[in-house]
Structure 1
Amino acid sequence: MRKKAVKNAGMIRIYLNMAWKLLQKNLLSIVIFETVYRLFSSQLVSRLANAAINFSLKQLGTSYMTSENFNKIMLHPLTLLLIFGILLVFFFCMLFEIYAVMAALEASWKRKRISVPVMMLAGGRGAAQFVRARPWTWFFYMAASFPYLWLHSSYSAIRSMKLLQVSLTKIFNAFPAYWIPVVLTILLVAFSFVFSYTIPFRCMMTEKEKNTHLRVRQTLEKRVLRELGINVSFQVMIFLITWVLYLIFGTAVVAYAKLVKTPSTVVSTVIVYGDWVKSTMSLIGGAFGLVGSITYLYLIFIRSSRKGYQKSRTTKKPSSKLVRTFCGPVTAVVLTIAMLAGETVYLVYAMRATRAEATASSQYISVSAHRGGARKAPENTMSAIKYAVDSMSDYAEIDVQETSDGEIVLMHDTNLKRTTGLNASIWTLTYDEISQLDAGVRFNKKFRGEQIPKLEEVIAYAKGKINLNIEVKYNGHNQNIVKKVVKIIEDNDFVDQCVLTSMNYNFLRQAKKINPDIKTGYTMKMSYGGLEDMDAADFFSVKYTYITESFVEHAHSLGKEVCAWTLNYQGDMQRMVNCGVDNIITDDPELVRKVILGTTDRNPGFVSLLGYALK
Structure 2
Amino acid sequence: MRKIRRNFRIFLFNLAALAGFEFLFKVLTTVVLFPAFIRGMNAMIRFFGYSYLTAENIRGFFRTPAVILLMLVALLCVAAVTTVDICAVIYILDQAGKGSRVTVLRALRFAISKLLSFFKAENLRILPVVLLFLPFLYFGVVSSFLSTIRVPGILTKYVESDPVHILVILLGYLFFSFFMMHWIYVFHFLCLRDTNYRKAMKYAKKLGKRHKVSDYGKLLGLQLLLYLVFLALVMLGSVLIILVRRSFWSIARITLPGSTNMILVYYYRLVLRVMAAISIPVGFSGVSVLFYEHLPVPETKGTEVTERKGFRWNEVNQEQTGVKGRIPKDLARTMVFLLTAVLFVVYNLRLVHGQYNVSADDIHVLEVSAHRGASALYPENTMAAFEGAVEQGADWIELDIQQSRDGQIFVMHDSSFRRTCGVNAYSWQKDYDEISRMDAGSWFDKKFSDQHPPLLSEVIALARLANIRLNIELKPNGHETDFEEGVLDVVKDAHFEKYCVITSQRYQVLERIKELDPEIRTVYVMHLAYGNIERLSAADDFSIEEAFASARLIRRMHSRGHKVYVWTVNNRRSIQTVIQNQGDNIITNNVPLAKDCVNSISLTDSMFRLVVSVEDLLY
TM range (shorter): 0.7 to 0.9
Contact 1:368 1:394 in 2 (8 A): yes
Contact 1:63 1:530 in 2 (8 A): yes
Q: Distance in 1 between matches of 2:96 and 2:58?
A: 49
1:563 matched residue in structure 2:
565
Superposition deviation, residue 411 in structure 1: 0.7
SS in 2 for 1:400: strand
Q: Distance in 1 between matches of 2:359 and 2:248?
A: 12
* One-letter amino acid of the counterpart of residue 123, structure 1: A
* One-letter amino acid of the counterpart of residue 522, structure 1: Y
Whether 2:499 is the aligned partner of 1:508: answer no
1:309 matched residue in structure 2:
312
* One-letter amino acid of the counterpart of residue 233, structure 1: G
1:127–1:71 CA distance, 2 compared to 1 (3 A)? same
Contact 1:206 1:312 in 2 (8 A): no
1:377–1:229 CA distance, 2 compared to 1 (3 A)? closer
2:367 matched residue in structure 1:
366
2:260 matched residue in structure 1:
266
Deviations 1:298-345 (A, max 9, x none): 54346588736364887328989xx74x62222223234445556677
Contact 1:391 1:589 in 2 (8 A): yes
1:132 matched residue in structure 2:
120
Superposition deviation, residue 374 in structure 1: 1.2
1:148–1:566 CA distance, 2 compared to 1 (3 A)? closer
- For structure 1, the 5+ residue unaligned runs are 1-12, 603-615
SS in 2 for 1:62: coil
Whether 2:423 is the aligned partner of 1:430: answer no
* One-letter amino acid of the counterpart of residue 309, structure 1: R
1:516–1:223 CA distance, 2 compared to 1 (3 A)? closer
Deviations 1:442-499 (A, max 9, x none): 3333322111111122223323532211001133433632222112222322212211
* One-letter amino acid of the counterpart of residue 489, structure 1: V
Q: Distance in 2 between matches of 1:182 and 1:229?
A: 17
2:501 matched residue in structure 1:
499
Q: Distance in 2 between matches of 1:15 and 1:191?
A: 27
Whether 2:291 is the aligned partner of 1:288: answer no
Contact 2:152 2:546 in 1 (8 A): no
* One-letter amino acid of the counterpart of residue 598, structure 1: S
1:230 matched residue in structure 2:
218
1:221–1:351 CA distance, 2 compared to 1 (3 A)? same
Contact 1:370 1:398 in 2 (8 A): yes
SS in 1 for 2:534: coil
1:5 matched residue in structure 2:
none
Contact 1:63 1:531 in 2 (8 A): yes
Q: Aligned Cα RMSD in Å?
A: 3.7
1:335 matched residue in structure 2:
335
Contact 1:158 1:164 in 2 (8 A): no
1:49–1:382 CA distance, 2 compared to 1 (3 A)? same
* One-letter amino acid of the counterpart of residue 263, structure 1: L
Contact 1:356 1:578 in 2 (8 A): no
1:381 matched residue in structure 2:
382
Aligned length: 585
- For structure 2, the 5+ residue unaligned runs are 250-254, 300-304, 605-619
Q: Distance in 1 between matches of 2:161 and 2:371?
A: 27
Q: Which among 22, 45, 48 is matched to residue 10 of structure 2?
A: 22
1:524 matched residue in structure 2:
526
Range moving further from structure 2, 491-500 or 127-136: 127-136
1:343–1:198 CA distance, 2 compared to 1 (3 A)? same
Range moving further from structure 2, 574-583 or 133-142: 133-142
Contact 1:63 1:532 in 2 (8 A): no
Q: Distance in 2 between matches of 1:531 and 1:538?
A: 11
Q: Distance in 2 between matches of 1:278 and 1:357?
A: 27
Q: Distance in 1 between matches of 2:529 and 2:27?
A: 25
Superposition deviation, residue 348 in structure 1: 8.6
Contact 1:439 1:450 in 2 (8 A): yes
Superposition deviation, residue 135 in structure 1: 5.1
What TM-score, normalized by structure 2, do the two folds share?
0.83
1:7 matched residue in structure 2:
none
Q: Distance in 1 between matches of 2:214 and 2:329?
A: 42
Deviations 1:51-71 (A, max 9, x none): 232122212333222223222
1:276 matched residue in structure 2:
270
Superposition deviation, residue 375 in structure 1: 2.3
Superposition deviation, residue 386 in structure 1: 1.9
Range moving further from structure 2, 534-543 or 37-46: 37-46
Q: Distance in 2 between matches of 1:137 and 1:87?
A: 13
Q: Distance in 1 between matches of 2:83 and 2:478?
A: 49
Contact 1:505 1:522 in 2 (8 A): yes
1:297 matched residue in structure 2:
291
1:472–1:165 CA distance, 2 compared to 1 (3 A)? closer
Contact 1:116 1:332 in 2 (8 A): yes
2:42 matched residue in structure 1:
54
* One-letter amino acid of the counterpart of residue 555, structure 1: M
* One-letter amino acid of the counterpart of residue 380, structure 2: E
Q: Distance in 2 between matches of 1:269 and 1:234?
A: 29
Superposition deviation, residue 437 in structure 1: 1.6
* One-letter amino acid of the counterpart of residue 17, structure 2: S
